Amino acid sequence: ISERLGALRLTRAFISSDPLSADDERRLATYVEEVLRPHAVRAIESGFDCVVGTSGTILALGELALDVEHRARPESLHHVTVTAEALQAVRHRLATSGLRDRQQMRGMERRADIVVAGSVILCTLLHLLGARELVLSDWALREGLLLDYLHGSDQAFAGADVYPDVRRGSVTSLASRY
């Protein structure tokens, strides 16, 4: 399911103050909740084992959550788990910080202007799902599409998963196909 809930789009639509006003935060969270509630209900009814977050803004929020949890930042954030409680603390810190302060935070140099909306989106989703933690992933849409394609294919791709490098597996599969 894809919804138009990008941090940039929602920053432009809902945030008119810096730091974030309580009214802007409430309007943004209410909108995100209205859009995501039906999807969250379906996910809960279907069941899930974990919530995984990918890409720039979520990884940056995860990195700040590690600071809240007083944990050292590992070499890679891939498969690192952070608590929803720590992410909520990050949301509060970002929402009450001005742009200049956010620009000084680790990992915020390029997204300080949109990360507040990103934190509201993420925390609202975790709340709707009743999730207590988030697993971070360095992989994103491109790798997910590729893996989905590989797993959905028949015998031509049966051996592709033996390659630890997704790109290499893709090239090998393409070669076997042609």
pLDDT digits (tens, 9 = 90+) for 122-135: 999 999 999 999 99
Sort strands 81-83 and 133-137 into parallel, antiparallel or unpaired: antiparallel
pLDDT digits (tens, 9 = 90+) for 47-103: 999 999 998 999 999 999 999 999 999 999 999 999 999 999 999 999 999 999 999
Q: Where are the beta strands (DSSP E) in 32-155?
A: 52-54, 81-83, 133-137
pTM of the entire predicted model: 0.82
3 state DSSP class of 174:
helix
Count CB-CB contacts under 10 A for residue 81.
15
Q: Closest Cα partner for 114 from 137, 143, 94, 141?
A: 94
Specify the pLDDT at position 106: 87
Specify the pLDDT at position 81: 98
